[in-house]
Structure 1
């Protein structure tokens, strides 16, 4: 009889331990997932020191009190960059008078080819409000790291100077306080971006 009782109590104990383990583990996993998700959306304050296409040295402080639409790319980009800048130009047109509260920034990831004159000609072809920023390799690397952006020099025989640049294709929205708010993925329609911005202004 004692043996039967011991077996029964052992089964109950194992069942209880299994029940607690499953529930506690599932709760903990849920918290970890929630925490991880929050970390990817936590606001950060990007910093940079670069030169705009007019020759002015600027930092993140230069644009305080303005909403920023920040895109990283390069002037020899065959598709993603011109498409995105054309979309940002469309957004600025759609915003009308509200556009004065927003500055689109195009930050080069290709300092060897994107000098001031090149940047000036490039951004001017899209919209007068778009500001092109470039700098030394060290300055650009620092800016890229601040925004947590990916970029990589990639050999390509058919490209100018034998290389192209792989890079993050999203547009970063930065608040007037200088904090990261969200990204707009590549291909987001201008009217969607415009509608989102109008709700925030």
Structure 2
């Protein structure tokens, strides 16, 4: 099993494939991603789910209503996209200052085979403590990824292990659980910060 990489690797490349049917982004660890824009007017994104928080408590989508939410899907063995995104998100939370308390920040693992509450708690200890880690069974992850139209796929690697290709964008939801837009991987920091400020201001 490969070691976890929580350091930042700013090189490398990724691609996002946006489909007309639901805003799905196919990200491969060895490809390149352009910066994205806020996406509106697409098919419904978001819906009911039940997952387990890193403290072992079961949560549903209702636990995040009342505040806007930034939700990102990845996995703890991710070599580049996830640690980079979570590091950037931690920085944005700091820059928001007191306004950050008016939002939820969530990291959902799509690696139901290796990531549980303990693994999520350990991994997220390297980032801002306000980022909540969620994990679940295969069926639970299938439910939430379908609701959010998230792409993920196991890809075998040497030695019998696997990596996971997955959507790279951070989803932005309003306090009612409605999809507002995204923070795209590689997007300008100032642009991402402005989107979060607008999201909070509209809460």
Please give the range of the TM-score, normalised by the shorter of the 2 chains.
Answer: 0.7 to 0.9
Which position in structure 2 is the counterpart of 1:183?
182
CA distance change for structure 1 residues 162 and 64 in 2, over 3 Å: closer, same or farther? same
Q: Which moved more, 1:190-199 or 1:172-181?
A: 190-199
Matched pairs, number = 164
Higher Cα Rg: structure 1 or 2?
1
Work out the CA distance in 1 between the residues paired with 2:148 and 2:186. Answer: 20
User: For residues 1-201 of structure 1, what are the structure 2 equivalents within 5 Å?
Assistant: 41-157=42-158, 162-200=161-199, 201=201
RMSD: 2.0
CA distance change for structure 1 residues 181 and 164 in 2, over 3 Å: closer, same or farther? same
SS in 2 for 1:183: strand
SS in 2 for 1:126: coil
Work out the CA distance in 2 between the residues paired with 1:138 and 1:54. Answer: 20
Work out the CA distance in 2 between the residues paired with 1:134 and 1:42. Answer: 25
SS in 2 for 1:178: coil
4+ residue stretches of structure 1 with deviation over 3 A? 36-40, 42-45
Work out the CA distance in 2 between the residues paired with 1:171 and 1:134. Answer: 17
- Give the unaligned 5+ runs of structure 2: 1-21, 24-38
Contact 2:76/2:115, CA 8 A, preserved across alignment: yes
- Give the unaligned 5+ runs of structure 1: 1-35
Displacement of 1:93 after TM fit? 0.3
Displacement of 1:109 after TM fit? 0.5
* TM-score with structure 1 setting the length: 0.76
Displacement of 1:189 after TM fit? 3.1
Displacement of 1:45 after TM fit? 3.9
Greater RCO structure (CA 8 Å; 6+ sep): 2
SS in 2 for 1:196: helix
Work out the CA distance in 1 between the residues paired with 2:79 and 2:158. Answer: 14
Displacement of 1:140 after TM fit? 0.5
Displacement of 1:39 after TM fit? 8.7
CA deviation map 1:109-131 (0-9, x unaligned): 00111011110011121110000
